[in-house]
Copies of this chain bind each other. A is one copy, B any other.
Amino acid sequence: MLHPEGRDRSSVTLAGRSPTLPTRERILRVASGLFATRGYHATTTREIAAAVGIRQPSLFHHFPSKEAILQTLLSSDLDVAVPNAEALAAAEGSASVRLYRYLGQDVAHLANSPYNLSGLYTEEVMRDPAFAPWVRKRARLHAAIERILADGVASGEFVDMPVSIVREAITGVLLRTLTLYSGQDRGGDPGFCEQIVSLVMRAVLIDPSRLPEIRRQAERNRS
């Protein structure tokens, strides 16, 4: 008997169809893309399954729930980003160089990830009690960034604005601009990434003419 979902797989993503990847991995890639473009709650398990090329119940062999798919994606990002940011927050060196390094790492990670991570940090996800542990992890990331920003304000390198607002603005820029580029395996166009980082640095630097020198220092002695 023909299943009502049919067999049409014409509008399926490349990542989802790639036959060399294990199904679990294809699910993560496809789901991250759908979460980013349609939102977490609006994305159905049927859509994910269809894009992967399997039936909806087959998803549950690889993940115990839809939540678990998102949680896996959150871990893949935060388990890298939090230690990076905390190390930079505690490191020696000028706040400008440390912020540049953080931004460079973050942008590169977002742009090079096989997943589209821009659907993870929306209000609809972050306010959902199911993801509270990851919200706490993310709070540590925020605290680390704000420590770097506060150092820069104290040293006179950064404009004197509330650090939580600036951090929120930075998050907004990164998520919004990299939506278009993440999860697409394009090697993350290093020129583009550097432009985004420079845009953010100019916004916070009191003296943006220092930017080339900061860039040079940030790229030297990459820890």
Contact = CB atoms under 8 A, between A and B. Distances in A.
Nearest to A39: B124
Contacts of A161: 195, 199
A123 B119 contact: yes
Interface string A48-92: 000000000000000000000000000000000000000000000
A179 B169 CA distance: 11
Interface in A150-189: 159, 161, 165-166, 168-169, 171-177, 179-180
Contacts of A122: 39, 122, 124
A208 interface: yes
Nearest to A118: B123
A202 B38 contact: no
A20 to B, nearest CB: 29
Interface in A106-165: 119, 122-124, 127-128, 159, 161, 165
Given A172-B173, A177-B168, A177-B172, A38 B208 contact: no
Contacts of A177: 165, 168-169, 172
A208 B203 CA distance: 9
A169 to B, nearest CB: 5
28 contacts: A37-B123, A37-B127, A38-B123, A38-B128, A39-B40, A39-B122, A39-B123, A41-B124, A42-B128, A122-B122, A124-B124, A159-B199, A161-B199, A166-B199, A168-B176, A168-B180, A169-B172, A169-B196, A171-B176, A172-B172, A172-B173, A172-B174, A173-B173, A199-B203, A199-B204, A200-B203, A202-B204, A203-B203
A202 B195 contact: no
